[in-house]
Structures are given as C-alpha cells and as structure tokens.
Amino acid sequence: MTDFEEGTIPEASRPDPSHVGFDLDFTLDAVVRVRAEVPDDAFTAGALGTERRGSGIVIDDQGLVLTIGYLVTEAREVWLTTNRATAAPADIIAYDQVTGFGLMRALGRLDVPALEITAASGAQVGSQVVVAGAGGRESSLISRLAAKREFAGYWEYLLEQALFTVPAHPRWSGTAMLDEQGKLLGVGSLLVQTTTSSGQTQAGNMFVPTDLLPPILDDLLHYGRVRREPRPWVGFYPAETDEGIEVTAIADTGPAAESGIDAGDVVVEVAGTQVQTLAELYRSMWRLGPAGTEIPLTVLRDGRARTITVTSADRENFLKRPALH
C-alpha cells in the first residue's frame, strides 16, 4: 500500500497560502493519517496487504472520518494521527462496496476542523484543485480537474462519473480533493493514466465524488451498510484486452471459483446479451437480480464458446465485519 515515507512533492507543486481562497493550513489540518492493521486470514489480505496507510478526512465535529474503503476493509485496528501528532484509535463504521467509501469515528479528541462537503457535480473540468494528504502543505499538491467520466474497476466496481486529476499525487489513498473554497469534492482512490481534454495521456488520480455520500450517510451511520439489495458478486477480476473482456484472475473462494470459470476465459455474453466493456459486463450482471441470482456467462476458452452459470453471492459475506470498541 502507499506509504507516507515514499515519494516527495516538490515545493513548487505545493499549494501556496497566498494563492488559494481559504485558510490553507487550517483546512489541511482536517486531513489525518490513517494506519490500519488487517488479520492475515482476511479475505482482502492477499490483494491489499495487512498493513495499510493513507489519509482520512474529518467531516464533522464529533470525529467522523471519511476515507477510501480499501484502507479499512476488514481492519481489526485503526489509528488516526493529526498534523500535530495527536493520535487516537477509531471505530470502523462502514465500508461501502458500491461507492468505495469507508467511514470511521475517532475514539478520542482530534481537535481539528471538519471539512465542508460540496457537490462535485458543480466542479468544472480544468479548474484548479488541491489534493491534500495528511501531513499539511508538504503532503499536498496543486492539481487540476482533468476529466469527469465513467470508471469501471476490475474488482466488479463501477462509478457513473468519477473525478480525474493531474498531475498525480504520489500518496493518493484517502486524499481530499478541495475546490477553490477549500470544500471537499472527492476522496482519492487510485493512480491512473488519465486522458486530458487536449488528448494527452498523463499520470493522475481517480477520486470518488462526494455527491455519492449524502444519500447513503444516514444508512451507514445507523446500520453500518446501505439498505439496498446487495449486488450479485461473481468473484473474478476481468479486464478489457485486445481479445475482449478477459478474466485475469479468480478469487480463491467465491462463486467464480466454484463454477469453473478460469483465468484466461474471455467473457462475450451475459444471459445472451453481448458485452464488450467492463461497464457493459457489470450492468448486464446486476440487471439480472440481487446477490444469489444465477448469472449465465458465455466465455471463449481455447477458441470455443461455452456457457457457465455462476450462482452469484453477496461480497459482504466474505469479509470480516468491523470490530467496534
């Protein structure tokens, strides 16, 4: 995972207090370090590691902290540290697989401000933003919003409109994307290659937009998950290749492993509907019904087509639930 000791942001690329329209240092104090410890036998330990570090964003005066969910998924212990070295353990409230958000509550006083959330839908492509990591100005980067578009991830994940910034922050996990007033637009998720409006390809970051949080926040706070039917989960890792949608790997335990889907299979249809992109694949699977629905997948293997029916599952059932203090 990302590490705060790796990578340096050049001084010229850091935000200047005189060039932003808000109290920079005060605002940056709302971004805290997150350190999570995950059991060796956790479902996500192999892919995401057992020691995870990144940033979190304080969003209320009661120590509620928003981050990217993979930092705290299945964690047995989480610690938060402020820019002034105040540390406190935290309870994990929820991690939402659909949006990608993780939510925590500090168990001690952090004495930092809370960031105000604003709608990322109003942010203009090309506008200047600050990508803020824990550690203040030295861990923050002047960037710009390069694109707003659909994003499909290989872990059966889809955002209708993700946010993309350039240049890339070297420690992106859980960073805060701030607008020109210092309000929160998004939460850092990935390092990606981003195509800008001029057609150039450049290393950048993908952010989950804050618009997705308000509709689900009450459910996360009261129930630890969103009260929606769980999406069907297959347990494979597909990617768009020259050959089509290729299954690059299979989760060790899960529906795909039990059904006979193999790495190298190329998915061409879902329930008789042709699919050519990851987004089409996921939407076609999710339209069939909730978790537990049987999903007929037509795949090419060794040049021959075959249909394999996968009995989907709820991904949450494979994950360790957050342990509350």
pLDDT for residue 325 is more than 90: no
pLDDT for residue 217 is more than 70: yes
pLDDT at site 1: 36
Question: For the residues 238-262, what does the mean pLDDT come to?
Answer: 96
* 236-318 topology per CATH: Pdz3 Domain (2.30.42)
Q: Tell me the DSSP string of 300-319.
A: EETTEEEEEEEE-B-GGGGS
Other C-beta atoms within 10 Å of 7: how many?
14
pLDDT at site 178: 98
Q: Identical fold at 1-228 and 236-318?
A: no
pLDDT digits (tens, 9 = 90+) for 285-306: 999 999 999 999 999 999 999 9
Q: Give the whole-number percent of the chain exceeding pLDDT 70.
A: 96
Other C-beta atoms within 10 Å of 274: how many?
10
pLDDT for residue 2 is more than 50: no
Structural contact between residues 29 and 112, judged by C-beta atoms closer than 8 angstroms: yes
What does the alpha-carbon distance between residue 311 and residue 258 come to, in Å, rounded to a whole number?
Answer: 9
Quick one: DSSP state of residue 5?
A: T
pLDDT for residue 248 is more than 60: yes
User: What residues does each domain of the chain span?
Assistant: 1-228, 236-318
**Whether residue 170 has a cis bond before it, omega within 30° of 0:** no
Quick one: DSSP state of residue 276?
A: -
Q: How far is CA 184 from CA 62, 90, 131, 167, in A?
A: 18, 21, 10, 18
pLDDT for residue 311 is more than 60: yes
pLDDT at site 3: 36
What does the alpha-carbon distance between residue 182 and residue 139 come to, in Å, rounded to a whole number?
Answer: 16
Question: Model confidence at 318, in pLDDT bands (50, 70, 90)?
Answer: very high
Question: Model confidence at 196, in pLDDT bands (50, 70, 90)?
Answer: low
Quick one: DSSP state of residue 75?
A: -
pLDDT digits (tens, 9 = 90+) for 140-184: 999 999 999 999 999 999 999 999 999 999 999 999 999 999 999
Provide the mean pLDDT of the chain.
94
Question: Model confidence at 324, in pLDDT bands (50, 70, 90)?
Answer: low
CA 135 centroid distance within chain: 21
Q: Which residue has the tokens 């100005």?
A: 137
Question: Model confidence at 322, in pLDDT bands (50, 70, 90)?
Answer: confident
What does the alpha-carbon distance between residue 20 and residue 217 come to, in Å, rounded to a whole number?
Answer: 29
pLDDT at site 7: 62
pLDDT at site 221: 96
Burial class (CB in 10 A: 0-12, 13-18, 19+), 114: middle
Q: Is the pTM of this model over 0.85?
A: yes
CATH for 1-228, among 3.40.50.300, 3.90.650.10, 2.40.10.120, 3.40.120.10? 2.40.10.120
pLDDT at site 213: 98
Quick one: DSSP state of residue 94?
A: E
Structural contact between residues 65 and 104, judged by C-beta atoms closer than 8 angstroms: yes
Find residue 129's DSSP bridge partners. Answer: 143
What does the alpha-carbon distance between residue 54 and residue 133 come to, in Å, rounded to a whole number?
Answer: 8
SS (H, E, C) 123-160: CCCCCEEEEECCCHHHHEEEEEEEEEEEEEECCCEEEE
pLDDT at site 63: 97
Residue 78 Ramachandran class (φ > 0 left, ψ -120 to 50 alpha, else beta): beta
pLDDT at site 195: 74
What does the alpha-carbon distance between residue 319 and residue 95 come to, in Å, rounded to a whole number?
Answer: 11
